[in-house]
Amino acid sequence: MIFIFPFFFIFLYFVLVESKIRTLFWKKFAELNGWKYKDSSDLNQEQGIMFRQGHSRHISHCIEGVIDGRNFRIFNYNFSIGSGKHRKIYFYTVFAFKFNGAFPHIYLNNKTNYYSIKIGESIPLSTEFEKSFSLSAPKEYEIEALEIFTPDVLVSLLDNKFGHDVEFVNQEMLIFFYGQISNSEQLEREFKRALDLEDLLDEKLDRFKFEQIGDMPTKLYN
């Protein structure tokens, strides 16, 4: 026991130091750009299917701002699968953009990253895209999903080696970067990749309209 306690406290010390450093990093990034920062956010406010995965879910380091007239959010999100020695924690940096249009709940799962989501109606894609992506939408809303993820959009994602999942819900596009970002160069690079996708889709999503079909749900559910 004499040896266990010192090691435990040393480990705890480094965990606390790392947490403080990460907080300062995100606060500084927000401050330098004139954006708002808060340590955490209410997970219950998030409607995305990614926020219903696993257990021990947590949102932290939340930034809100406006860029080129577009409201956006950046935040960290993690959840766990399994328990004990079999527990695996999945970490994401999420980029979210708000649009003026309205669209059903749509999920583009990127098969090249570390976590896959299969839900709703699976929408067939051509062979060149099916190797890298799976596309899901609620039943009867497959056409809307294909109107957003047209072949030219998917080609652009492939050409840019875009390795992230993308979810559309509540007039927001959420981009899930797998992993923790810990330096400004990486954050700026990934934010630019998210902004490039926003720029590619902004006109379409700002004017996008759809009508609910009878009593068919427009949301994806676990």
Domain ranges for the chain, please list them. 37-207
- Are 197 and 166 contacting, i.e. CB atoms less than 8 angstroms apart? yes
Percent of the chain beyond pLDDT 90?
Answer: 86
pLDDT digits (tens, 9 = 90+) for 149-206: 999 999 999 999 999 999 999 999 999 999 989 899 999 999 999 999 999 999 999 9
User: How far is CA 175 from its chain centroid?
Assistant: 4
Nearest to residue 103, comparing CAs of 211, 20, 215, 185? 211
Question: pTM for the complete prediction?
Answer: 0.91
> Is the pLDDT score of 8 beyond 60?
no
Distance in angstroms (rounded) separating the CA atoms of residues 120 and 138: 5
Average pLDDT, the chain: 91
Rg of the chain, C-alpha, whole Å: 19
- pLDDT tens-place string over residues 70-121: 999 999 999 999 999 999 999 999 999 999 999 999 999 999 898 999 899 9
Measuring CA to CA, how many Å separate 174 from each of 83, 88, 104, 166, 167?
A: 28, 23, 14, 6, 5
- Contact status, residue 65 vs residue 34, Cβ threshold 8 Å: yes
Span 119-165, pLDDT tens digits: 999 999 999 999 999 999 999 999 999 999 999 999 999 999 999 99
Split at pLDDT 50, 70, 90, the class of 40 is very high
Q: Which residues of 68-104 are buried (b: 16+ CB within 10 A; e: fewer)?
A: eebebbbbbbebeeeeeeeeeebebbbbbbebeeebb
